[in-house]
A and B are shown apart, each in its own frame.
Chain A
Amino acid sequence: MNRFCASLFLLTLLLGGAVTHAAGQGDRMSLYGFFDFEVGSNDQVGGPAWTFDQHHLNVVSIYRLDDRWRVFAEVEWEHGPDFKTSGTSGAIILERAVVEYKHSDALQLKIGKFLTPFGLYNLRHDASPAFFSTSLPDAVYGAHANTLRAQQRLFAKVATGLQVLGSVLGRSWALDYYLYISNGRGSQPASADNNSNKGIGGRLAVSVLHSAVQLGASYYADRNGTAAQTRQQTVAMDATVHYADFLMEAEMFVPRLERVDLAGRPDGSFRIGRGYYVQVSHPLLERWTPFGRYGLYDPDTGAPGDAERSVVVGLNFAATGAVFFKTEVQLRSFQDPALASYRVWLGSVAVAF
C-alpha cells in the first residue's frame, strides 16, 4: 500500500510538473502546497510526552481551462501515512476536488467536494502557514461530544455537492456570500447520501475597505448520518478588526444537537450549546507576532458546570514570507471539579510552497 501512496504522490507532482511545462500551458496549471511539523507535550495524567507529528503535507493543483473554468484539487498526506506496517497510521485524503465556473466575481459556482465556508477558519482549515497558532481555536473548530457522547465537529468540515458564491463589491465595501447543498455527514459523504435530508449551509461576510472590519455569519444544518441520524444545526457569528497591524478575531457559535432516546434513536428534543473565542495579535519588528486567545465551550447551556475553557499564549515568527515557526502554551480548565486542568505546549514549523 505504501508503494501506492508514494506513487500517487509522485504522480501528482510529476503530472503537475509535466502539465506546467507543457508548451503553452505554463500559466494554466499552478501547484501550491504546505507542509507542517509539530512537536508537543502536555502535563495531563497519561498524556503523551514529547510527541513529534509530521502533520500535513498537502498539495494543491489548480488547472485553469480558461478565464471562467478551473479545476481545484487538494491531496493531503496527514500524520506521515504508512499502510505497510501492521495496522495503519496516518491518512491520505482527497481533501477537495471541485470544478468552478466563474461568471463574474459576484457569481460563481462550485461542484464537487469542498471545505464548507464556515466561520473565519474552515476554508483554510489545515493550511497552517495561513494562521498564527499551531492549533485552530478548538472552542469552535475542535471536536466535541455529541448527544451520543461521541466526538465530532459541530459542523461538517467538508461537503460534497453544489455551492454558489461570490463577492459583491461596493465602492468601499464588499459582501461575500456562500450557499451550498450537500450530502451532509454520513458513512460515504462524498459519494452517497444515507438519509433524505441534505446538508445545507451558507455564509455572509461584510467587509469595509481600509478600516479592515469584517462581520460574518455562518450556518450549517444536516441530519448527521454518523450520529444516529440526529438533526444538527449550528449558527456562528464572527468579527475581524484589523487596525494599524493590530488584529482581533472573535467568533461565537451556537450548536443545536438533537438528543437520542434510550434506544439511541433521535427523540425530537435538542441540546443547545455555545462556544466562543477572542484572539488578539500584533506584530513586533514585522516578523514576530505574539498572540493570545481565550476560548470557552459549553456543551449544554441548560446544564450548569460543564463548560471548558482554554487560554492560549503564543508567538509566530515569519522566517520568510513562506516559512513560519510557532510556539504556544495552552492552559485548559474545566468547570467540573472532577476534571483536572492541564497545560499543553506546542511548537511547529509551517511552510507554504
Chain B
Amino acid sequence: MSTVLGRRVAAALIVAIVAIGSAHAQVAVIVNANNPIGDVTLDELERLYSGRQTAFANGLQVALGEYKPARRLFYGKVLQMTETAVSRHWISVVFSERNATPPRGFQSPDDARRFVVANLGAICFIDLVSVSDDVKVVTIDGRDPRDPKYALR
C-alpha cells in the first residue's frame, strides 16, 4: 500500500516539476491594458530591448521591464545573447549616451505586472502563468503564446 502511495506521490511530483518547468519555459510579453498596441514583431522586440528603438510604432515612449527569472529564455530568443552579454550591452548603451533607459528588473511577477499597470508605455515579459486580466498580452508576429510556433517557446 505504502509502495503504491509512494509511486503516486512520485508521479505527482514529476508531473508538477514538468508543469512548473514548462510554465517557466513559456514567456508572455505584456503591455498596459490601455496601450492600443496588440502585436509586436520579433524584430521590434529586438530593437526595443537592445535600446535602439525607444518608442512604439504609435509614438508612445517605451518603458522596458524584465522578469528576471525569464531573462535567459527571453534574451536568448530575442537578442540571441546570454544574460551576461545583455548586461554588458546595456552598460555600453548607458555610457555611450544612447538615449535609452535600461529595463527595470523584477524578481516577482506581481511587481512586473504592477510596473506595467502603472505605466502606459510599459512593456515587460513574464511567465505566461503569471499573466492576469489587468495587463494585455501582445502577440508576436501575429502569434498568441499558446500557438505552437510562438517565438518565445
Given contacts A127-B91, A129-B88, A129-B91, is CB(A115)–CB(B97) below 8 Å? yes
B101 near A30 with CB under 8 A, answer: yes
Binary CB contact string for chain A from 111 to 150 against chain B (1 if under 8 A, 0 otherwise): 0001100000001100101100000000000000000000
8 A-B pairs within 8 Å (CB atoms) are namely A115-B97, A124-B92, A127-B91, A127-B92, A172-B43, A210-B80, A287-B84, A321-B84
B52 contacts A67, CB within 8 Å? no
User: Is there a chain A Cβ closer than 8 Å to B96's Cβ?
Assistant: yes
Interface status of A70 (Cβ within 8 A of chain B) = yes
Q: How many A residues, CB 8 Å from partner? A: 39
Q: Is the interface of B mostly helix, strand, loop or mixed?
A: helix
A108 to B85, CA, bound (A): 27
A interface footprint on B82-100 (CB within 8 Å = 1, 0 otherwise): 1111111001101111010
CA distance A72 to B94 in the complex (A): 10
Q: Which residue of B lies closest to A101 (CB)?
A: B99
Please tell me if the beta carbons of B96 and A124 are within 8 angstroms of each other in the complex.
Answer: yes
Known contacts being A60-B95, A169-B53, A321-B83, is A209 close to B47, with CB within 8 Å? Answer: yes
How many whole Å from A166's CB to the nearest CB in chain B?
Answer: 10
Q: Provide the residues of chain B in CB contact with A100, threshold 8 Å.
A: 97, 99
Residues of A near B144 (CB, < 8 A) are: none
Docked complex: A275-323 residues within 8 A CB-CB of B:
283, 286-287, 318, 320-322
Give chain A residues whose Cβ lies under 8 Å from the Cβ of B95.
32, 34, 60, 123-124, 127, 130
Q: Is B127 positioned at the interface, with any CB of A under 8 Å from its CB?
A: no
How far does the alpha carbon of A245 sit from the alpha carbon of B82 in the complex, in Å?
8
Per the bound structure, the CA–CA distance linking A130 and B87 in Å amounts to: 9
Contact call B43/A321, Cβ cutoff below 8 A: no
